Amino acid sequence: MKKYFGTDGVRGIANEELTAELAFKIGRAASYVLLSHNHKFKEILIARDTRISGEMIESALTSGLLSMGLNVTLCGIMPTPTLAWLTKKEETVGFMVSASHNPWQHNGIKIFSNGYKLPDSIEEEIEEALDKVSYGHSVGRIVNHDMLSEYIEWIVKRYVDLKGETIAFDLANGAAISTVPVVAREIGIKSFIFNDKPDGMNINEKCGALYLDFMKKAILTTSARYGVVNDGDADRCMIVSRDGRIIDGDDIMVLNALSMKDEGRLNGNTVIGTIMTNLSIEEFLSNNGIKFLRTPVGDRYVLEKMIETDSHLGGEQSGHVIFLDLESTGDGLVTALETFRAARKLKVDPSEFVSKIGRYHQILENIEVKDKLGVMEDGKVKTFMDRIKKEKNVRIVLRPSGTEPLIRIMVEGRDEKRVEEIMKEAKEIIEEVKDSGAIHKN
């Protein structure tokens, strides 16, 4: 069991849980472990989002890496997928300082090697080495290169045919400020940009992928038909239509799956989703000759299954969508542009298209708990889950959050009343056992 690394790197409240000292140790230990595995890399890349704590953690990480004799390129504010793309292109390692969609008080560290997040086994080795590694025999230097322009040039060249589109963008006062305005201008997209003035503490604040109400209102002040919404590190994409319809990751996958199938890009005619993907999506894809496979929640699990099955499209309802023939991680900007291009090729209006897919009634709830694993192992909870899973036309998912002290509940089914009854019962049971301090045995 890892102590610091979760499903998406190291996360915590900056200066309390994720301190400068811990960041320094991670930089030093990661250098030691990666070098011991003969990882070949040039300068190490470090990027960050717009949180006020980003510079502190960036500086501490840099010191740890320099102390091991490695050279570091500071990329500044940059989306997570941009850093991942650069590590693959440059065949190197990158550290992303971000807590994604979390509030400004939080921060995190994700490590990429040649485009991919480190496997669990390497993260475990880094944890074991945190307090054991001595300093290196040489000292590295900070090297300055313009890394961002390579990514922007690639994006603009690929999507130049979208010239003339009119799109609103909510940048969540996050890392997308470094890419979206430039790319939109270079392609020739008429853009309306919102939440592009970060102050270190307004990232994701009543905006972004977890607060779509902002775009629902903001788009009405523009001439745009659609609004693209990112999260703090810009690896998510949600789309809002002018009439207020939400086009989420499920919808985005369907639209792109049909387009990619027509293009011959949909390897194996297979799409990878998660246990949270609405059952209607699976049925719709099946009716169009496309296989759908599920994984646990988390883009790393989606990616693992995509690599295992040699699939090119996968993602999550939350807006993480991976086009593996283009990038090794979800990229909010690429996802948006691929989706608008797919709609053009299929000659459909995205909002009208997704309205025809339909949805099983689905409710999502989060309950804050002290002991996530204790709740999941509780006998009453297990008995409840076993009983509900025997019901037909109902699906329930109960899981601990990988980054927050929450139990996440999803109930889905054809009968809206029954779905609501099950959710009510689930919440009551978890509230009952969450602070009991004891595990109820079966």
Question: Is residue 439 scored above 60 in pLDDT?
Answer: no
The residue ranking higher by pLDDT, 276 or 209, is 209
Question: Is residue 98 scored above 90 in pLDDT?
Answer: yes
Question: Is residue 148 scored above 70 in pLDDT?
Answer: yes
Pinpoint the alpha helices (H) of 164-290.
180-187, 213-218, 249-263, 279-287
Question: Is residue 1 scored above 90 in pLDDT?
Answer: no
Digit-coded pLDDT (tens) for 240-259: 999 999 999 999 999 999 99
> How is residue 66 written in tokens?
């320099």
> Tell me, what's the pLDDT at 442?
46
> Tell me, what's the pLDDT at 39?
67
Secondary structure class of 366 (helix, strand, coil): strand
The residue ranking higher by pLDDT, 8 or 89, is 89
Confidence tier at 368 by pLDDT (50, 70, 90)? very high
* Region 217-242 average pLDDT: 98
Active site (catalytic) residues: 100
Confidence tier at 40 by pLDDT (50, 70, 90)? low
Do residues 187 and 211 make contact, with C-beta atoms less than 8 angstroms apart?
no
Do residues 227 and 168 make contact, with C-beta atoms less than 8 angstroms apart?
yes
Digit-coded pLDDT (tens) for 326-342: 999 999 999 999 999 99
Distances (CA, A) of 287 to 223, 283, 306, 357, 395: 36, 6, 21, 11, 21
CA nearest to 384, candidates 417, 416, 431: 431
Question: Is residue 441 scored above 60 in pLDDT?
Answer: no
At residue 376, what is the residue type? Answer: M
DSSP state of 374: H
* Region 407-421 average pLDDT: 93
CA distance 155 to 305: 26
